[in-house]
Structure 1
Amino acid sequence: MAKFDLDTIRHSTAHLMAQAISRVFPDTHIQFGIGPVIEHGFYYDVDMDHRLVDEDLEKIEAEMQNLIKENLSIERKVMSRTEALDFFKDKNDELKQDLINSFEDDAEISCYQQGEFIDLCRGPHVESTGQLPKFFKLLNIAGAYWRGDENNKMLQRVYAACFNDKKQLKAHLNFLEEAKKRDHRKLGKDLELFHFNSVAPASPFFMPKGAFVYNRLIEFMREIYRKYDYQEVITPQILDSDLWHTSGHYEHYKENMYFSRIDEREYAVKPMNCPCHMLMFKHYKYSYRDLPMRYADFGRLHRYEKAGAVTGLTRVRTFCQDDAHIFIDMDGIQDEITKLMEMFFICYEHFGFTGIKVNLSTRPEKKSGDDATWDKAENALEEALKKSGHEYFIKEGDGAFYGPKIDVEIADALGRYYQLGTIQLDFQLPERFGLSYTNAQGNDERPVVIHRALLGSLERFFGVYLEHVAGVFPFWLAPEQAVIVPVNNEFHLDFANKLQSELFAMGLRVKVDDRNESMGYKTRQIQKSKAPFMIVIGDREMENNSVSLRKHGEKKTESLTIEELKKLFSELDAEFIPAKLRQS
């Protein structure tokens, strides 16, 4: 049997799936959109009246196996643009006609046919269906607008995994199962952290436990700010559109902004803090002795995201960033970025992220400013990265419209990478806002601005981190650190309540489970809540002024005196501040 690369196998298996769908629903008019290869498999967009469900996927898979057994020959057919349009017009296939109309007039158009099935495709494909390995799995169905345009009809997108061998497929399916368990949307609901409501699309409602974690993340950042000399500011939410014209956001970012008319003028809800910080710096006259000046802002931001793009906490329309802008002179850039990289690694390592990747993103095609200024900015960032000693990768054309940037990606417990931190060097906004400071010679000089975030969007970080720890927060971040369980409420409840009061006085978050339920039931519920510890109080514990302590995820218990428990909890809670900050 001829050997084919995995992309070719996946592409051909996508056509296999489309043919199987046609066979499973022979009396239904079906149009197929695009069916590209993606990481780990492929998808195909389908337009049909029947609404596909999970049970249908099993039938389609079975028919795919039958098609492999039939060993149908796969043939490439070339048509002119006119021939292709006529062919798909006869098949009443509007989607393919739309695609063909987007091609150049002299384009060579190819189709691939296997048995009764034929579809528009560039290829390549295997030579027959019998050459396809059987290691695929249809995963799920999602909605997708035709050609990604929300003004077009909604199609059904069928996702599938496909590999060269059974072992690879099994490993990927196990990964997906683990990812499903860790889905932050499910955990957010199960752990009573947050939820969503249609009255505010893509805008989370944080419940008390979720609000605690959210605010604790802000407190954590404030501890880092104290070490690295940041000053926190508060800025308005709604600002005159003239400001966004000055900053350039109106021209480059308008489609993602919310607008309103107030007193017959147009205003915008801020999608970012930077223009406000430019105004604050400009309001006073500063000298070189005041630099670097570091403004930090936890202001709420609003950005319009298309309905099809939003997902859980990782893509929302309202959020907060651990945002900061640093006003600095050219000579200070190297040292400042060295400090920033130090901050980043202290932060990410404290949250247990070990896979950390640094990228340098250069000028995009749609940019503000001249090439000479961009050359200066890119060289400054690259020199700073070289000086910091961290390995980095170049991402051509991925910079912001106003300047190049350093992006930091982290790998979670499942090895998935997420971009969190960013450092963006900006020569444009200081110029646009006419910013200046008095240099050592007494002359006005233009500062450089560094845009900087560590966690990025707190909402997104919350979602990523929740999946990273599978809902089991470290002790210092857990909204409920321990649950005290009296074995018998009649005899042990008073002792449990007294212990809870003592721990509460230490600033710890502990509750007593005094429900009239069995010990087994309470234990299972506490494990589901993912509280770091369960404390059991019975006769022996009362006699010895001790507790029986069980850590989440473990079956063994440990006997500790009350004083030992308090010492342990104090030490764990102190981990709120990273060791490197406590030592300095």
Structure 2
Amino acid sequence: MLQVTLKDGSVRSVEPGATLASLAASISRGLAKAAVAAKVDGETRDLTYALQSDAEVEILTADGEEGLKVLRHSASHLLAQAVQNLFPGTRLGIGPAIANGFYYDFDSEHVFTPEDLRRLEAEMTHLAKENFPYERREVERGEALAFFNGRGENYKVELIEDLPDGVPISMYTQGNFTDLCAGPHVPSTGKIKAFKLLNLAGAYWRGSEKNKMLQRIYGTAFEKQADLDDYLFKLEEAKRRDHRKLGQELDLFSLHDEGPGFPFFHPKGMIVRNILEDFWRLEHQRRGYQEIKTPIILNRGLWEQSGHWDHYKENMYFTKIDDEDYAVKPMNCPGGMIVYKSKLRSYRDLPLRLGELGLVHRHELSGALHGLLRVRNFTQDDAHIYMLPSQIKDEIIGVIDLVDYFYRIFGFEYHVELSTRPEDSMGSDEAWEMATGALEEALQAKGMDYKVNPGDGAFYGPKIDFHLRDCLDRTWQCGTIQLDFQMPEKFDLTYVGEDGQKHRPVMIHRVVYGSIERFIALLLEQYAGAFPTWLAPVQVRVLPISERHEKYAQSVVARLREQDIRSEADDRREKINYKIREAQREKIPFTLVVGDREAESAAVAVRRYGQDNAGSKMGLEEFVSLIQEEIRSKKSVVPQLHGD
């Protein structure tokens, strides 16, 4: 008998050759019905996989992340089957599961249209009801090449030819359709019930512009129809909240052909930006940071010394000055090293926390540019902390606390990932192990749940990444903490220790916003453009009912401005209801309507954005106190998903 250890630690005895499906059935009938695949000693397998030795096994269902990935991969095969049924002669590219869905690339004489997506969905529904099993078969290289060559599937042939010797080659068949695939898949097409084809795009074969452009069909799939409906609703909500659309409507920023990827900030956008930067400065000063500013252009020798010339050159911009090579900085770190080395440092100076709101430039492909989320120049809220080895844990915890404070202020939830050593890295195994261990120790000391992200660290050190979750359940990587033993060595950074000798400091790179531009985009979409009062470019608009009330309206504005409340009067010769609607459209937090009664009693009729009311009357000074408290507390309210 084989001993199978389940995820909960319990052990079951099974006969050699028992399948994962039979194991699931022995646990419970409900689990057997819900199962889509299983992990055996960490490797995901089909439920038809037969156990031949003792193993650790986790049964996967589609209500979990890994099980849902299997379901979506199977849905991509269902799509490919539907395409070849409806459009014979179409050749297949690849069809992986991706975040929130799947895609499949096709080479077809037919140009797919939105109407075709509806036809394909209907065919997929038919094929799903046929409940074809996904049947795996491992074959020799020659047999696989002969099979796909015989069908004219040149892209599959190329993939097979590029496989290293000794790698198992497997094919999956469902009904009349066979594909090259490592798997795993759900037991049958009948498991795929809630799916939707979303959109069309072009994609170069294997991501190279030298190759043919294929047609990519994107889709998504969920275990339940209710989950799919919720996702589709949030997709529509995301369109309504698109920061590019809101940025234009609210006159915050613009993007132009004269500078692709280089955003232009307008006066109102600069107000939001400056508030974020002022908040950053204040909170960092409170925590012992000192602000610096380093040049945008620096000599090639510096970038060679830092390692960027060898590891990051393709993302950099270059220029020549006096016949010497210079680079526009893609990162602030090397400039910070020069500041550290500008004077002799003592152990008494450490930890030294140097912060910079530094403008950096990185070359992004034009197809990757996306509003403020992916640009070619942006401001990083960098800080570099130089410290003694004994201070590492406390400094990392201090940064974690700072990041947590910022994200809670803005109403974001987040999760944490620990990214470890990548293949293209520098430094010794010992230094990497020490750095990774220090980050893990700090996370554990804080009692934080975290996911290990193997191989995704920076080339100079491991990192902790903070992934924000917005109100639409999307995640965005913003804050990061990178522990670095490499840069201090490369730049020969030293401090004089208690023993009077020179020693090497340890260094942390960290950001909170990540990028000011990107963070503004996230805030716009999180708040649907309705910034909380403390962030709003215009906090109050005063609306005189008629011309004779304009003088009082201006006096109200003057009183608010005395208290540094951003306010303005709308004295256009328009009806009051029109002006109220305009203020709502511009998402101004407070609208004050003033007429005879308000002018006579030094009062205002207060309307709050998003609330359907006729305006509650209160004394002007009472309103000043109310809004001052709201600004001071930095109260944030995320608008409901069903509209403004």
Q: Secondary structure at the match of 1:471?
A: coil
Structure 2 residue aligned with 1:493:
550
Paired residue for 1:362, among 404, 407, 420?
Answer: 420
Separation (CA, whole Å) in 1 of partners of 2:154 and 2:379 = 43
Deviation string 1:525-571 (CA, Å, 9 cap, x unpaired) is 32222111121122322232211111111112221111112222222
Cα pair 1:184 1:312 within 8 Å, conserved: yes
Q: Give the AA of the match of 1:526.
A: A
Aligned residues: 573
Instruction: Name the residue aligned to 1:99.
Output: 159
CA deviations 1:180-217 (Å, max 9, x no partner) are 33222332233222232233222222222222211211
Query: Pick from 175, 195, 216: which aligns with 2:234?
Result: 175
Do the aligned partners of residues 247 and 481 (structure 1) sit closer, same or farther apart at CA in structure 2, a change above 3 Å counting? same
Structure 1 residue 78: deviation in Å? 6.5
Letter in 2 for 1:13: A
**2:356 equivalent among 287, 297, 305:** 297
1:142 corresponds to which of 201, 212, 216 = 201
CA separation in 2, counterparts of 1:106 and 1:415? Answer: 41
Letter paired with 1:540: R
Cα distance in 2, alignment partners of residues 51 and 499 from structure 1: 61
- Cα pair distance change 1:92/1:361, threshold 3 Å: closer
Q: Residue 457 of structure 2 corresponds to which residue in structure 1?
A: 399
Residue of structure 2 equivalent to 1:55: 115
* AA aligned opposite 1:255: E
Q: Select which of 605, 626, 629 maps to 1:568.
A: 626
Aligned match for 1:64, one of 124, 129, 137: 124
Alignment-derived partner of residue 284 in structure 1? 343
Q: 2:72 aligns with which of 10, 14, 19?
A: 10
Which AA in structure 1 matches 2:482? Q
Partner in structure 2 of residue 20 of structure 1: 82
State which of 471, 486, 493 in structure 2 corresponds to 1:428.
486
CA distance in 2, matches of 1:109, 1:397: 26
Q: Structure 2 vs 1, CA of residues 430 and 577 (structure 1 numbering), >3 Å: closer, same or farther? A: farther
Structure 2: how far apart are the matches of 1:13 and 1:572? 49
Q: Distance in 1 between matches of 2:342 and 2:95?
A: 55
| Aligned: 1:220 with 2:282 | no
Give the Cα–Cα distance (whole angstroms) in 1 for the partners of residues 564 and 605 of structure 2.
21
User: Alignment RMSD, CA only?
Assistant: 2.9
Q: Answer yes or no: is 1:36 the counterpart of 2:96.
A: yes
Describe the shift of the 1:61–1:406 C-alpha distance in structure 2 as closer, same or farther (beyond 3 A).
closer
For residues 30 and 271 of structure 1, the distance between their equivalents in structure 2, rounded to whole angstroms, comes to: 43
Residue 156 of structure 1 aligns to a residue whose secondary structure is strand
1:422–1:454 CA contact under 8 A, matched in 2: yes
Q: Match for residue 467 of structure 1?
A: 525
Partner of 2:257: 198
CA positional deviation for 1:104: 3.8
| Separation in structure 2 between the aligned mates of residue 237 and residue 342 of structure 1, nearest angstrom | 30
Q: How does 1:521-560 map to 2 (within 5 A)?
A: 521-556=578-613, 557-560=615-618
Measured against aligned partners, the alpha-carbon deviations of 1:295-347 in whole angstroms (never above 9, x if no partner) come to 21112101122334333322222111110112222233233233323322222
Aligned mates of 2:596, 2:287 — CA distance in 1: 51
Classify the secondary structure of the residue corresponding to 1:299: strand
Closer/same/farther in 2, CA of residues 235 and 156 from structure 1, 3 Å limit: same
Distance 1:424 1:23 in 2: 51
Letter in 1 for 2:602: N
1:215-267 alpha-carbon deviations (Å, 9 max, x no partner): 21111101112211222111111111111111112122222222223332221
Higher relative contact order (CA closer than 8 Å, sequence separation 6+): 1
Residues 61-70 or 359-368, more deviating: 61-70
Which secondary structure does the structure 1 equivalent of 2:530 belong to?
A: coil
Q: CA-to-partner distance for each residue in 1:112-140, whole Å, 9 max, x for gaps?
A: 556665543344556775x3544211112
Are positions 1:229 and 2:288 aligned together? yes
Distance in 2 of aligned mates of 1:499 and 1:392: 51
Cα deviation 1:443-481 (Å, max 9, x = unaligned) = 222222221211111122222222222222111111111
CA-to-partner distance for each residue in 1:410-432, whole Å, 9 max, x for gaps?
A: 32223333332222222211111
2: CA distance between counterparts of 1:362 and 1:525?
Answer: 51
Distance in 1 (CA, whole Å) between partners of 2:559 and 2:538 is: 16
Report the CA distance shift for 1:51/1:210 in structure 2 as closer, same or farther (over 3 A): farther
User: How many angstroms apart in 1 are the aligned matches of 2:198 and 2:497?
Assistant: 62
- Which residue in 2 is equivalent to 1:188? 247
TM-score, L = length of structure 1: 0.89
| Alpha-carbon distance change, 369 to 72 in structure 1, aligned in 2, over 3 angstroms | closer
1:307-456 map, 5 Å: 307-353=366-412, 355-456=413-514
Secondary structure of the residue aligned to 2:552 is helix
Distance 1:152 1:61 in 2: 29
Indicate conservation of the 8 Å contact 1:258/1:303, yes or no.
Answer: yes
The aligned residue for residue 121 of structure 1 is: 181
Tell me, in whole angstroms, the C-alpha distance in 2 between the residues paired with 1:275 and 1:127. 54
SS at match of 1:541: helix
Amino acid at match of 1:497: Q
Q: Does 1:154 align with 2:213?
A: yes
Please give the alpha-carbon distance, in whole angstroms, between the structure 2 residues aligned to 1:134 and 1:436.
62
Instruction: Describe the SS at the equivalent of 1:224.
Output: helix
Contact persistence 1:402–1:428 (CA under 8 A): yes
Structure 1: where are the runs of 5+ without partners? 579-584
Determine helix, strand or coil for the equivalent of 2:592.
strand
Identity %: 48
1:351-382 deviations in whole A, cap 9, x for unaligned? 122x3434443333332211222233333333
Residue 400 of structure 1: SS of its match in structure 2?
A: coil
Does 2:337 align with 1:252? no
Is it true that 1:239 corresponds to 2:298 in the alignment?
yes
Conserved in 1, the CA contact under 8 Å of 2:532 and 2:634?
no
Conservation of the 8 A alpha-carbon contact between 2:261 and 2:375: yes
Partner of 2:321: 262
- Whole-Å separation in 1 of the counterparts to 2:390 and 2:635: 31
Rounded to whole Å, the distance in 2 between the matches of 1:290 and 1:138 is: 59
Instruction: Give the SS at the match of 1:455.
Output: coil
2: CA distance, partners of 1:350 / 1:412: 13
Distance in structure 2 (CA, Å) of the matches to 1:577 and 1:327: 34
Decide whether the 8 Å contact of 2:379 with 2:515 is kept in 1.
yes
Q: Distance in 1 between matches of 2:261 and 2:633?
A: 33
Give how far 1:273 is off.
Answer: 1.0
Q: Determine if contact 2:136/2:172 at 8 Å carries over to the other structure.
A: yes
- Partner amino acid, structure 1, of 2:238: A
After superposition, the Cα gap between the structure-2 partners of 1:53 and 1:347, relative to the gap in structure 1 and judged at 3 Å, is same
